[in-house]
Each structure stands twice: as structure tokens, then as C-alpha cells.
């Protein structure tokens, strides 16, 4: 209740109000304090908006994996870091401030910056360890360290060398082309189907080998009349479709129509 309304009350009404407030555990002192607060600027509901994000290094106690989290306090950084590392709160070995990364808030910190500060990554192409001092390992393998300079400018990961980055980029291009060709083949066989996902393992179309886990090249799809979920077209010498038992009749009728 505001002061202006309260001041307009009659003495009798004020007395009644006082009794009601007392029964509900609210004193006039509390009302007066609320009145005082009404004239003061209120603090932001989300205090986090007014606090700068700080960088924290969160490390697990099992594999030694770590992540940089940006938060206003260590507890939040630890909780969010544990989630990213897929561990629980107790499995976090440490949560330390890293002010040298504050300028990269809200993140992420560029991989090459992390490497310059002692971090190491795995090459997205050859899986070699990429670090600022990997030259020692290269010399032990009779390789020229000058041919291996960490690269991590793109969105596809970190690479130990320009050669690996170029190979990875080329593989992505070939994979994209293979998916386009698989989609063309599928659409010719099953016009009118609704494609859900196109999968190509590697960078070329090839049938699955015996014992291969999963399908190398496949298309997930639905068709008119299907009522039991999606179906799968498997590319190979004997192209086949995996269809739910309850949809086999509808599929055959649709395909032969």
C-alpha cells in the first residue's frame, strides 16, 4: 500500500488495517520500511548482468580433461564446467581463475591461444597431439618440425599442420558430394518419399562390409501411409530398405504404385 493511499484512510479504517496487519504478522514498522524502499532504486533482478564474466579453468580428476568456463563466480563455473565435461560436481579436481582469458568472454577461447598457454589438442585429421612443444616428438620420429605448425582457425577443429587441415577440408568436400550422389540415387528409386537424413561414412559411396558396425551409406526416410516411424534405405550391391513390420504392406503398395 502506498503512502498516499494510506494517508487518505480514516482513523477507524487505519485501526482496522492495523489489526488485520497484526493478525497476518505484518507490523506498521514493516509497512513503513516498504514505503521507504518504494522511493529507492531497486536492485536489478539479475545481478549477473552487472557483473563481468571471469574465466575459470575447470579440470576433472579422472582423465585430466579441462575446459574454460566464463561465469561471475567459481561455483557457477564449476557446475557448468562439470556439465560440459560430463562429470558430477565431486569429480571436478579443480576450478581455478584464469584472468589471462577474461578478454575472450563470453567465449570460447581460440584453440591457438590455449595452445600458446600450454594446452594440447588432438589433430582432427591424423589424431597427433597438437601442442606448443610438439617439435620434440616430431624430431624423435625423424620429421621436420617446420612442417608442423598448429592450426585452428576454422570450425572443424585443430590441426597439427597445413597438410592435415587441407586433407580434412578435402574429405569434407568429398563427403558432401557423396551425400548428394546418394540422395540422387534414392530420389530416382523412391520419388515422393520424405528424406529425413543422409549418411555417408568416409568420403565416397561404398556398400557396407560384412561385420561392419552400422551402414556405411544410408538414407532415413518416411513415405505416404507409414504409421510406425521412419524407414532406412541402405546403399549397396543389393540396395535394401529396412521398414517396420507394421509398415511393410503400406510400403510395398506405395513402391509398386
Per DSSP, helices labelled H in the chain are: 3-7, 11-23, 28-38, 74-85, 111-116, 135-140, 162-189, 248-256
N-term to C-term CA, the chain:
75
Q: Are 137 and 120 in contact (CB under 8 A)?
A: no
Cell of 84: 560440459
Over residues 140-159, the mean pLDDT reads 83
Nearest-10 Cα torsion for 37, 40, 45, 47? -120
Q: What is the total residue count of the chain?
A: 257
Q: Are 223 and 242 in contact (CB under 8 A)?
A: no
Which pLDDT does position 12 carry in this prediction? 54
Which pLDDT does position 28 carry in this prediction? 45
Q: How far apart are CA 208 and CA 214, in angstroms?
A: 8
Classify 45 as helix, strand or coil.
coil
Q: Per-residue pLDDT tens for 30-56?
A: 444 444 444 444 444 444 567 899 999
Residue identified by cell 568416409 is: 202
Q: Per-residue pLDDT tens for 163-199?
A: 999 999 999 999 999 999 999 999 999 999 999 999 9
Q: Are 219 and 233 in contact (CB under 8 A)?
A: yes
Burial of 130 (0-12, 13-18, 19+ CB in 10 A): buried
Instruction: Work out the pLDDT band at 7, boundaries 50, 70, 90.
Output: very low
Angle in degrees, CA 169, 84, 80, rounded to 5: 140
- Residue from 47, 102, 56 nearest 75 by CA: 56
Instruction: Work out the pLDDT band at 101, boundaries 50, 70, 90.
Output: very high
Q: Mean of the per-residue pLDDT values for the chain?
A: 83
Q: Are 167 and 125 in contact (CB under 8 A)?
A: yes
Over residues 235-257, the mean pLDDT reads 90
Residue identified by cell 494510506 is: 6
Cell of 244: 517396420
Instruction: Work out the pLDDT band at 127, boundaries 50, 70, 90.
Output: very high
Paired residues of 240 in beta bridges? 234
Domain positions in the chain? 3-38, 49-104, 111-160, 182-256
Instruction: Work out the pLDDT band at 19, boundaries 50, 70, 90.
Output: low
Strands 194-200, 231-234: pairing is unpaired
Which pLDDT does position 72 carry in this prediction? 96
Burial of 52 (0-12, 13-18, 19+ CB in 10 A): exposed
Burial of 151 (0-12, 13-18, 19+ CB in 10 A): buried
Q: Per-residue pLDDT tens for 192-241?
A: 999 999 999 999 999 887 656 678 999 999 999 999 989 999 998 777 89
Q: Are 93 and 59 in contact (CB under 8 A)?
A: yes
pTM of the model: 0.67
Amino acid at each position: 500500500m502506498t503512502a498516499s493511499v494510506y494517508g487518505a484512510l480514516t482513523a477507524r479504517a487505519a485501526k482496522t488495517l492495523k489489526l488485520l496487519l497484526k493478525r497476518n504478522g505484518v507490523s506498521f514498522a514493516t509497512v513503513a520500511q516498504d514505503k521507504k524502499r518504494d522511493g529507492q532504486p531497486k536492485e536489478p533482478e539479475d545481478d549477473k548482468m552487472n557483473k563481468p564474466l571471469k574465466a575459470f579453468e575447470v579440470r576433472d580428476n579422472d582423465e585430466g580433461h579441462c575446459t574454460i568456463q566464463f561465469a561471475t563466480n567459481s561455483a557457477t563455473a564449476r557446475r557448468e564446467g562439470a556439465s560440459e565435461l560430463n562429470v558430477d560436481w565431486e569429480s571436478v579436481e579443480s576450478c581455478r581463475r584464469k584472468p589471462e582469458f577474461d578478454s575472450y568472454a563470453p567465449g570460447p577461447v581460440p584453440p591457438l591461444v590455449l595452445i600458446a598457454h600450454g594446452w594440447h589438442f588432438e589433430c582432427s585429421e591424423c589424431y597427433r597431439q597438437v601442442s606448443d612443444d610438439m617439435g620434440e616428438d616430431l624430431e624423435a620420429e625423424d620429421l621436420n618440425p617446420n612442417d608442423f605448425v598448429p592450426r585452428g582457425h576454422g570450425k572443424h577443429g585443430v590441426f597439427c599442420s597445413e597438410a592435415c587441415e587441407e586433407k580434412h577440408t578435402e574429405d569434407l568436400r568429398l563427403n558432401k558430394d557423396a551425400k548428394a550422389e546418394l540422395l540422387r540415387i534414392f530420389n530416382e528409386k523412391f520419388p515422393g518419399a520424405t528424406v529425413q537424413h543422409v549418411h555417408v561414412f568416409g568420403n565416397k559411396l561404398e556398400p557396407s562390409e560384412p561385420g561392419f558396425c552400422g551402414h556405411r551409406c544410408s538414407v532415413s526416410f518416411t513415405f505416404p501411409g507409414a504409421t510406425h516411424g521412419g524407414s532406412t534405405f541402405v546403399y549397396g550391391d543389393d540396395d535394401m530398405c529396412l521398414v517396420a513390420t507394421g509398415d511393410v504392406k503400406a510400403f510395398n503398395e506405395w513402391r509398386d504404385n
